[in-house]
Structure 1
Amino acid sequence: MKNEFKALIIQGDSKFSLKKFETDFTGSYNKEKAKDELIKTKIEISHLQEKLYAAGKHSILIIFQAMDAAGKDSAIAHVMSGLNPQGCQVFSFKVPTVKEYEHDFLWRHYLALPERGRIGIHNRSHYENVLACKVHPEYILNENIPGVDDVKKVNKDFWKQRYESIRNFESHLSANGTVILKFFLNVGRDEQKQRFLERIEDPTKNWKFSSGDIKERAHWDKYMNAYQDAINETSTEVSPWHVIPADKKWFARLAISEIILERLKKLDLDFPVVTDEEKAKLEETKTILMTE
């Protein structure tokens, strides 16, 4: 992996500062070069996905978190366009339902985990519980947690416990064969403003805009603090965060695909080896078919 992509990985032993990351970073790439590289990378990912599916030992969980208009949907569409749909699934998480609130905050995310051999993509994820809920702690009261019946009790100790739950959750998944790739699409506030205006001015994009997006934008600084805390608390050796500059969508797509490709390569995937007994059966079958 090129150094400019390695620099986007937040190691578990580092103290992450969001202010140090440029949202418009593109490294040594221009749009045309990135487009060509992305095509090649997607082909490689597709070949490795076939081996992942055939081997059936690992699963891949790809998590996308970002502010509104950061490009999560388009990143998923472009980067994953070369995958076989049979081995891939996408879940988009909204506000929890009444039934989901009857369980712990990780329950619905367990239900959406990819099976062995498959790639699962979570558009927003269990991290909403330490992002949106941290900006709006009153949301936590909907969970009916014993002893947490007042917003004042959603304090530092509460968040410390929640981060620990997330680390344990991801550690358990990793130990059982799930590779976790976490991407934070880091869009700048000015770029978000421009994209909101485009959605308003273009009738074909009006459906993408919600008045609620503006309300959340007013909490920008709180969200940035929440992201910084979450990344610092949950970027571990087995599931580090990747902070992707998202002002230039073409670079974000390339960076995401390069990181996914590199992680798949590390699994040293290959097709299952056929035993001598199975080979003999194949030859027997071949003979039957040839003599029909």
Structure 2
Amino acid sequence: MGDERAERIAEFVRPLRVEPGRKVRLEQDFDPRYKAGIRRKRDGVELLRSGVELLADYQRRLAAQDTHGVLVCLQALDAGGKDGTIRHVMSGVNPQGVRVAGFKVPSDDELDHDFLWRYHRELPRRGEIGIFNRSHYEEVLVVRVHPENLLRQKLPGAARGPGVWKRRYREINDWERYLTDNGFTIVKIFLNLSKEEQRTRFLKRIDVPERNWKFSPADVRERAHWDDYQKAFSKMLSATSTAWAPWYVIPADRKWFARVCVSAVLAHTLIGIDPRYPEVGGETRRELAEVKRELERQAPEGEPADPFAAKETGEGKAEGKAKGKAKGRGKGRGRGKAAGKGRGGKHGGRA
């Protein structure tokens, strides 16, 4: 794609990126209602449509190249808009090239392994985009806000002692570095919702019957820990936004703008990977040319030899029809001559 367009996208996402080494104070540093000067939702919808088309193109290249993989880690508080973001932003891509994994309360089997085990099992393959709807960062968010969960993880006493969070940050950073060294790009997105917007969305889930299923009383209980979560998010962003796997903080109070931002971040990431369609060698090209000639010979009368090329040029169809008419005229003339000879013979007979 053009350098100018790529630079515009890079400029758009730059304020959202958490620079490595930056100490984040979430409530002071990032505004959930920021919208980058875009005044109308209608304009945002157009931008999202363009972003979805761009993602679809790059996802096809990623799958064809089959060298790189992309892991999207999506974090947010309840009602942050994770499901809607996935549904809208990934609406144009081939479902075969995208895997979505959600992580709930760990099972007994998962608790019998290390804390990264269940996440490693769901990683995307090369050529795929994998999305973690909640991710391994739950282990330094929910578990940190509710440290009693450490007891459920069956850790040795020393592993639960002072320094556990600093150690987990280091282990997560090392794991992500290992993945990137092996060709898997990691995109970490935090949907930053204000406390008032969360309250409004909870009420909507209660007031609209079709949304009742999305609401749980547990969501309100977690809301009581709002300040603790803000601190946990701030520490997480500060400790784990790295040069190889940076965090992007997405203003999430306006769903349409959050989706524009996420599509821009993903587009920026794929532009950086720059996946290409594989090129075939000379022998393969010769085989393709032979097959092409054979298929062209099988074209029905009146049809272009290569319908795809005809559609691209706009000339092949007309050319095919012209050839068909010419053949028809030739046959007509042949029949006419034959008939003429026959009549001449009869007349000659009479003479």
Same fold judged by TM-score > 0.5? Answer: yes
Provide the residue aligned with 1:133 in structure 2: 143
Determine whether 1:114 maps to 2:124. Answer: yes
State the alpha-carbon separation in 2 of the partners of residues 178 and 60 from structure 1.
5
State the alpha-carbon separation in 1 of the partners of residues 65 and 12 from structure 2.
31
Q: Unmatched 5+ residue regions in structure 1?
A: none
Determine whether 1:270 maps to 2:276. Answer: yes
Provide the residue aligned with 1:20 in structure 2: 29
State the alpha-carbon separation in 1 of the partners of residues 266 and 57 from structure 2.
13
Determine whether 1:3 maps to 2:11. Answer: yes
Work out the number of aligned pairs and report it.
288
Shift in Å, 1:144: 1.2
Shift in Å, 1:281: 2.2
Of 186, 189, 197 in structure 2, the residue corresponding to residue 191 of structure 1 is 197
Could you report, residue by residue, the CA deviation over 1:65-92 in whole angstroms, capped at 9, with x for unpaired residues? 0100010110111101111001011011
Could you report, residue by residue, the CA deviation over 1:179-234 in whole angstroms, capped at 9, with x for unpaired residues? 11000000000000010001011100000000000110000000111111111110
State the alpha-carbon separation in 2 of the partners of residues 212 and 119 from structure 1.
31
Shift in Å, 1:266: 1.3
> Once structures 1 and 2 are overlaid, which stretch shifts more, 264-273 or 50-59?
264-273
Provide the residue aligned with 2:225 in structure 1: 219
- AA paired with 1:79? V
- AA paired with 1:115? R
State the alpha-carbon separation in 1 of the partners of residues 161 and 16 from structure 2.
30
State the alpha-carbon separation in 1 of the partners of residues 272 and 189 from structure 2.
18
- AA paired with 2:284? E
> Are the equivalent residues in 2 in contact too, given 1:24–1:245 (CA < 8 A)?
yes
SS at match of 2:249: strand
State the alpha-carbon separation in 2 of the partners of residues 253 and 191 from structure 1.
16
Superposition RMSD in Å: 1.3
- AA paired with 2:203? L
State the alpha-carbon separation in 1 of the partners of residues 191 and 160 from structure 2.
27
Of 68, 82, 100 in structure 1, the residue corresponding to residue 78 of structure 2 is 68
SS at match of 2:169: helix
Provide the residue aligned with 2:49 in structure 1: 39
State the alpha-carbon separation in 2 of the partners of residues 216 and 154 from structure 1.
23
Q: Unmatched 5+ residue regions in structure 2?
A: 1-8, 299-351
State the alpha-carbon separation in 2 of the partners of residues 141 and 277 from structure 1.
62
State the alpha-carbon separation in 2 of the partners of residues 277 and 156 from structure 1.
63
Normalised by the length of structure 1, the TM-score is 0.95
> Are the equivalent residues in 2 in contact too, given 1:137–1:154 (CA < 8 A)?
no
> Once structures 1 and 2 are overlaid, which stretch shifts more, 191-200 or 1-10?
1-10
SS at match of 2:277: coil
Determine whether 1:175 maps to 2:181. Answer: yes
- AA paired with 1:154? R
- Structure whose CA Rg is larger: 2
> Once structures 1 and 2 are overlaid, which stretch shifts more, 282-291 or 98-107?
282-291
Shift in Å, 1:2: 5.5
SS at match of 1:6: helix
Provide the residue aligned with 1:55 in structure 2: 65
Shift in Å, 1:20: 1.7
Shift in Å, 1:268: 1.9
The percent of aligned pairs where both chains have the same amino acid is: 43
Could you report, residue by residue, the CA deviation over 1:45-67 in whole angstroms, capped at 9, with x for unpaired residues? 10111000000010010111010
Closer, same or farther: CA 228–155 of 1 in aligned 2, 3 Å: farther
